[in-house]
Chains A and B, each alone.
Chain A
């Protein structure tokens, strides 16, 4: 049901604004091999000159059937697979999955594990936002920030590597807590990183925030209202930049986020520039959270008592966390066996991508690129 007052009412691509064979209309196929579609997204653009009349996303080029694989693996065995969805923020994926199964099993990770989880997840949020910033700026034509962000992201990946041996698809968490105790010097490494990283955020901002061309390219580009965001199910920084103060870390605190003091940055205009500012502010908030967490890691066990062979009681559970890109939800149905009956993932990128058409109508081709960048999609997650 669409609200007639909402701009969504003319979302339908089947009723084009102009007759099909219009000489002024140009249909361009952007992707799946295209430098700015962040992977294998295919966008079919209908253009009038350079103006976008409408567009359609074609997805599925990276479909690996993650959800179906989940039905054929035990709960423990499926854990590494979720890392491959949003490979940029693998730790968040793992956290969401582990917490969902914990909810199903009715266990809770011990406090020490919770703290380490928060630290690693927030570090991963920083890494994800850095990658977003670099590629987004690159799409708009600023090539230098990419290298700056990758230089600094490397430090985060080094911490991951030291902790669990992997850099990208970390599989850092286990159901019930952690597998590995933190290595000697973990706290020192994280603290050093924070000291190293705080001025770097200013450095990124110096490059872009007041850059005249950057302002012109991002202000009033890809505008979306909070109402439309909610109607489309858009979450994460995109929703917050449209002025809706919705962050699952505050709204439905999971892990132990309620113990930490942080703000939810929001924007007003819901344009690309606001989304940029919101993500930059989120980086600072993440630094704040890690700062609080790293000082207070309690002693104790790192994993709760979980059975070796997990057979959750018959039932279903939905749990969602605030991934760097938005609400990442897992819906797991258990039939009492060792394998889930059904795993459904609600990936933020997939849902956010829906807004692309609405945000790009009437804009220019160059803005489509900017909007794809600002939505911060990861195709591994969209297609699963």
Chain B
């Protein structure tokens, strides 16, 4: 018994600086998997609400307002609705493939989180081929999409699946080139050894005192830009949402899906968005590192940045309280008002909890990583509210004739500049 407790406790030692996977501590691996899974599901639910709200406010509407205060319970209501809905399978569909397809997509979207580094020790595991693993597994989801389109045995899903697969495959090339140029930058150290490990990439940025987005300005920025465009195309989101262009193909590859299966596609789409955003954050935006590590360095600044997570939650709680005060003073709104206040209290308690030094220290990296990913999520919503949709041929032209040559050029230039720097400036 004591051994088991010791086994569990061994990882809690603050001196442990490796991921549970690397430490070989299977119990904590399981805990981390659960945490990531729950966190991801919560993030998808929150994203659902936020997307509706933000999009609505961009479009001079209110968005969900009825289910819970300010529609806060809307995603939960929707999830319940989807679970209770009749599960329809077309008579002509290929049953097995139709059944498997959503699971393939979800599996691919969730598996990549095995290597996503929320912090130097906050990842399920650290693989020495981390980034390759992420790109490889996330591109498996195209298989599920093709399966869904094919098994539906219907025209619109088939066209949607074809579009989607062609699109994902062609944008992966540009994406890969951008990634390679970032990986090249990791080798700019004394030993000249690069790394493919997700944690290693962030540590390289830490060691070089520069996020790769600013490295060799503007080369890093261009590579980041290529990736940022390609990742939107890769996840089939506006303005590249041709696979599910509702005005053309009703709903694309998931036209024939309903209820729970459909919600799996939804879940996969959003977790894929989070996954590619975390690649971008890890490769170019310094992963879990806090902003301005050079400009605002020193112990005082560290202390100031350490309270940001708590302050953020307190600010959100404050917004809740402010809106509680603004709620209509009508008996019908009493439950909603109380609900919003309770939500605010919960956020405030989380905020206060984050002020505890021991927690604050451990939560720092996770917070900054999530904040950066959240920035990308906002961009996704912003794109959707702003851009019209590309046409298929234009999309392909963009992928093969613009992004791919740009990626190649950036890669060659990065390599050249890196070599020159090594030979000329730092002999």
Check A183 for interface membership: any CB of B closer than 8 A: no
Instruction: Name the residue of chain B whose CB is nearest to the CB of A45.
Output: B155
Instruction: Name the residue of chain A whose CB is nearest to the CB of B241.
Output: A141
Tell me the minimal C-beta distance from A116 to chain B in angstroms.
31
Against B, the Cβ 8 Å flags (1 = close, 0 = not) of A343-384 are: 000000000000000000000111101000000000000000
- A141–B168 CA distance with the chains assembled, in angstroms: 19
Q: Is the CB of B391 within 8 A of A143?
A: no
Q: Which chain A residues lie closer than 8 Å to B246 at the CB level?
A: 35
Check B81 for interface membership: any CB of A closer than 8 A: no
Q: Is the CB of A141 within 8 A of B238?
A: yes
Per the 8 Å Cβ criterion, residues 322-362 of B in contact with A are: none
Q: Is the CB of B247 within 8 A of A364?
A: no
Q: Select the stretch in B18-26, B53-61, B132-140 that faces chain A.
A: B53-61
Instruction: Name the residue of chain A whose CB is nearest to the CB of B155.
Output: A28
Tell me the minimal C-beta distance from A365 to chain B in angstroms.
6
Q: Is the CB of B248 within 8 A of A138?
A: no
Instruction: Name the residue of chain A whose CB is nearest to the CB of B384.
Output: A143
Check A72 for interface membership: any CB of B closer than 8 A: no
Q: Is the CB of A36 within 8 A of B247?
A: yes
- A321–B388 CA distance with the chains assembled, in angstroms: 34
Check A158 for interface membership: any CB of B closer than 8 A: no
Instruction: Name the residue of chain B whose CB is nearest to the CB of A137.
Output: B388
Given A138-B247, A141-B239: A367 in contact with B155 (beta carbons within 8 A): no
Per the 8 Å Cβ criterion, residues 133-157 of A in contact with B are: 137-144, 146-148, 151
Q: Which chain A residues lie closer than 8 Å to B58 at the CB level?
A: 144
Check A26 for interface membership: any CB of B closer than 8 A: yes
Q: Is the CB of A213 within 8 A of B155?
A: no
Q: Which chain B residues lie closer than 8 Å to A208 at the CB level?
A: 388
Q: Is the CB of B250 within 8 A of A364?
A: no
Tell me the minimal C-beta distance from B160 to chain A in angstroms.
11
Instruction: Name the residue of chain A whose CB is nearest to the CB of B163.
Output: A50
Check B389 for interface membership: any CB of A closer than 8 A: yes
Check A214 for interface membership: any CB of B closer than 8 A: yes
Tell me the minimal C-beta distance from B381 to chain A in angstroms.
12
Check A217 for interface membership: any CB of B closer than 8 A: yes
Q: Which chain A residues lie closer than 8 Å to B387 at the CB level?
A: 141-142, 211, 213
- A140–B279 CA distance with the chains assembled, in angstroms: 30
Interface Cβ pair total, 8 Å cutoff = 80
Per the 8 Å Cβ criterion, residues 390-413 of B in contact with A are: 390-394
Tell me the minimal C-beta distance from B425 to chain A in angstroms.
39
Given A143-B59, A147-B61: A214 in contact with B245 (beta carbons within 8 A): no
Per the 8 Å Cβ criterion, residues 247-262 of B in contact with A are: 247-248, 250
Against A, the Cβ 8 Å flags (1 = close, 0 = not) of B243-282 are: 0011110100000000000000000000000000000000
Q: Which of B59, B156, B385, B392 gathers the greatest number of chain A CB atoms within 10 Å?
A: B59
Tell me the minimal C-beta distance from A202 to chain B in angstroms.
16
- A211–B59 CA distance with the chains assembled, in angstroms: 18
- A29–B250 CA distance with the chains assembled, in angstroms: 12
Q: Is the CB of A217 within 8 A of B389?
A: yes
Q: Which chain A residues lie closer than 8 Å to B159 at the CB level?
A: 28, 50, 365
Interface SS of chain A: helix
- A367–B247 CA distance with the chains assembled, in angstroms: 11
Q: Is the CB of B59 within 8 A of A366?
A: no
Given A26-B155, A151-B60: A213 in contact with B388 (beta carbons within 8 A): yes
Q: Is the CB of A141 within 8 A of B247?
A: yes
State the interface size on chain B (CB cutoff 8 A).
28
Q: Is the CB of A213 within 8 A of B248?
A: no
Check A3 for interface membership: any CB of B closer than 8 A: no
- A347–B281 CA distance with the chains assembled, in angstroms: 56
Tell me the minimal C-beta distance from B241 to chain A in angstroms.
7
Q: Is the CB of B248 within 8 A of A211?
A: no
Q: Is the CB of B392 within 8 A of A147?
A: no
Q: Is the CB of A365 within 8 A of B248?
A: yes
Check A73 for interface membership: any CB of B closer than 8 A: no
Check B386 for interface membership: any CB of A closer than 8 A: yes
Q: Is the CB of A144 within 8 A of B248?
A: no
Q: Which chain A residues lie closer than 8 Å to B155 at the CB level?
A: 26, 28-29
Q: Is the CB of A216 within 8 A of B248?
A: no
Q: Which chain B residues lie closer than 8 Å to A144 at the CB level?
A: 58-59, 385-386
Q: Which chain A residues lie closer than 8 Å to B245 at the CB level?
A: 141, 366
Q: Is the CB of A35 within 8 A of B389?
A: no
- A147–B242 CA distance with the chains assembled, in angstroms: 22
Q: Which chain A residues lie closer than 8 Å to B388 at the CB level?
A: 137, 140-142, 208, 211, 213-214, 217
Q: Is the CB of B391 within 8 A of A366?
A: yes
Per the 8 Å Cβ criterion, residues 182-233 of B in contact with A are: none
Tell me the minimal C-beta distance from A27 to chain B in angstroms.
9
- A377–B248 CA distance with the chains assembled, in angstroms: 17
- A34–B156 CA distance with the chains assembled, in angstroms: 11
Interface residues of B (CB under 8 A from A): 55, 58-61, 155-156, 159, 238-239, 241-242, 245-248, 250, 384-394
A-B complex: 5 closest residue pairs judged by Cβ atoms:
A141-B389, A147-B59, A36-B247, A142-B388, A141-B388
Sample (21) of A-B pairs whose CB atoms are under 8 Å apart? A28-B159, A34-B250, A35-B246, A36-B247, A50-B392, A139-B247, A141-B238, A141-B247, A142-B386, A142-B389, A143-B59, A144-B385, A147-B59, A148-B60, A213-B387, A213-B389, A214-B388, A217-B389, A217-B390, A217-B394, A364-B393
